[in-house]
Structure formats: C-alpha cells, structure tokens
Amino acid sequence: MTTDHGLTPEQGTIVVFSDIWCSFAHVTIFRLHEARKRLGLEGRVRFDHRAFPLELLNKAPSPRTGTDSEVGRTASLEPAAGWQLWQDKDWLYPSSTLLALEAIQAAKEQSLDAADQLDLGLRKAFWAESRSVANYHVILDVAEKTGVVDVPALVEALRDGRARKTLFEQADIAASDTVNCSPHLFLPDGTDHANPGIAVGWQGDYGVGWPVITGDEPTAVDALLKVSAL
C-alpha cells in the first residue's frame, strides 16, 4: 500500500510502530532481525521504533488473559522468538508498558541501535522470561545486558522524563488513521505495511477468545528490508 503520512524515513531505515505487549509485533520484529542477518543487510537497514501504546489507545492495561491466550497460537509462527505462558507471580504481571516504551525512546538519544537492542531485549524479557517490564529496575537490567545501551545516560533520561513528550506524541499518531495496528511498518519508498505477511482474526472477545491465523508468509519482510537498504 502506497501512502504519505509524513512518516517516510530516509533510505536505510524502517519505522516500526508497536507495543511490547503485542505478540504479533514480537513475531515481526524477530523476523526483521533474522531476515536482516540472513540477507546480509546488517549495517544497511536500521529500525526506528515508535510507540503504539495499547493501554492508552484502549484506555486500559492489556489483560494477562489476552496475552496468555495469544502465546499458544502466535508462538507457533516463530517458536525461536522465545515464548512462555506467564510464569512469575500474578501480581508481578506488568500493568503498563509506558515506562518501557519511554525507555526505548530515551535510548534513541544514544543511537537507533541502542534503542533497537533495548526494544528487542524488553520483548524477550516479557514474552520469553516472564519479567515485569513495567519495573524500572528490570528495564535497567535489560538495558545493561544489551551491552550497547549506556545505562547511566538512560537513567538520567528517565529521571528527567525527556522522552515522555515524544512517547505521547507518538501515541497521538498511533491513535490516528495513519497507523492501523501493532506492528505497522513505514518504508523509505513511501509504502507502509501493517502486520506484514500475517492475516489474523479473533474468535471471541479479547481476553476470552483466541487469535485465528488465516494466512502467514514468513518471508514477507524480506522484500521490505531489500527495498529499504542503503
């Protein structure tokens, strides 16, 4: 689909709107990283992460029943991305991803790569390790383990809240007709791609029913990476 929403990045960059809570974003971002490596495009395509904060758009936290119901079905698309049903204490299930999303934007001040590695680490922490990514100290621990993020600089940014305005500006864009869902990718050629390669419906209400995958093309991201590469 060809559009122009003022989100067209420079060549060599793909803009990705998503939330950490979104299982389909976990699949797509895993595929982007794996395909970039397989195609030899590391260093030629970067990912610019933007927030699609579901709790603001839905005016409520994402329920554990919802994310748990997605694991069995969505995980089958990319088992290697890392998944498990929530294993920690019930009260440690994250009631918010806003601080984690803010941290990703704050890390972008260091570099897109720092933000990208923090984004990837937080997704794995939530989906594969049942860690409470709402917790400030968990976020910093994940940042430390990336080996890329300057943690003292991230602490300073989170303490003064410099990325919070950016987060809410991105939430406003996510709430508009410009962005359809998490994940939604915007490419240098002016095209945008929502949940690339995956067609999905839902059986029953969210948190009660489960996702129904009606189509999947795992290599759909290959063409998006190739057209975006330097």
**pLDDT in tens for each of the 230 residues of the chain?**
444 457 999 999 999 999 999 999 999 999 999 999 999 999 999 999 999 999 999 999 988 999 999 998 899 999 999 999 999 999 999 999 999 999 999 999 999 999 999 999 999 999 999 999 999 999 999 999 999 999 999 999 999 999 999 999 999 999 999 999 999 999 999 999 999 999 999 888 888 888 999 999 999 999 999 999 99
Count of structural domains within the chain: 1
Residues 6+ apart with CB under 8 A from 69: 207, 208, 209, 210, 211
Q: What is residue 5's predicted lDDT score, i.e. its pLDDT?
A: 55
Q: What CA–CA distance (Å, rounded) separates 99 from 97?
A: 6
For residue range 121-162, what is the model confidence (pLDDT) as tens digits? 999 999 999 999 999 999 999 999 999 999 999 999 999 999
Tell me which amino acid residue 46 is. R
Instruction: Select from 163, 173, 221, 190 the least CA-distant residue to 37.
Output: 221
CA dihedral 30, 36, 37, 39 (to 10 degrees): 130
What is the structure's pLDDT at 204? Answer: 87
Domain that holds residue 183: 13-228
The CATH number that applies at residue 61 is 3.40.30.10
Q: Per the domain annotation, does 92 fall within a domain?
A: yes
Is 81 among the domain residues? yes
Q: Is residue 209 part of a domain?
A: yes
CA 154 distance to own-chain centroid = 19
> What per-residue confidence (pLDDT) applies to 210?
86
Asked, for residue 142, whether it belongs to a domain, the answer is yes
> Is residue 210 domain-resident?
yes
pLDDT for the residue numbered 209: 86
- Residues 6 or more apart whose Cβ sits within 8 Å of residue 63: 206, 207
Domain assignment present for 61:
yes
**Radius of gyration of the chain from its Cα atoms, rounded to whole angstroms:** 17
3 is a domain residue = no
